[in-house]
Amino acid sequence: MEKKNTFALFVISADDKTIEVEKESPEKDFTQFINQLPSDDCRFAVYDFAYEVAGQQRNKLVFISWIPDTSKIKKKMLYASSKLALCKRLDGIASEIQATDYDEISEKTITEKLTRGSR
């Protein structure tokens, strides 16, 4: 992901053989990012998450494995088994989140995960 981008979405190709960049965006609005995740299909995402700890602004790269409960079983299995291969190729990931619904990737949830032990 280029530094100028805030997030990147990854999708497994139609032939199930490669992981491709579906979209990169400099959009900083977290809600806009969440709206890019389909409610019934899987994706991988990397988000440059901005948050505050003890009055200091911080940014960390978060890897999100988006596998909604409503997606097809074959897709769930394919994404679950492909996650490690993609993670190994990404540098600088501070945290990984596996989410099956939008509540699991709320700003509050991610901030809490990133700030555990940072106080």
For the chain, state the CA radius of gyration: 14
Pick the CATH number of 7-115 from 3.40.20.10, 1.20.1600.10, 3.40.50.150, 3.40.190.80: 3.40.20.10
Q: What's the pTM?
A: 0.90
For residue 70, give every residue at least 6 positions away whose Cβ sits within 8 Å of its Cβ, in sequence order, or none.
Answer: 39, 40
Residue 106 CB-density burial (10 A; 0-12 exposed, 13-18 middle, 19+ buried): middle
Nearest alpha-carbon partner for 64 in 17, 26, 7: 7
Give the integer Cα–Cα distance in Å for 41 and 77.
Answer: 12
Q: What is the pLDDT of residues 75-106, one digit of tens each?
A: 999 999 999 999 999 999 999 999 999 999 99
What tens digit of pLDDT does each residue of 23-38 get?
A: 999 999 999 999 999 9
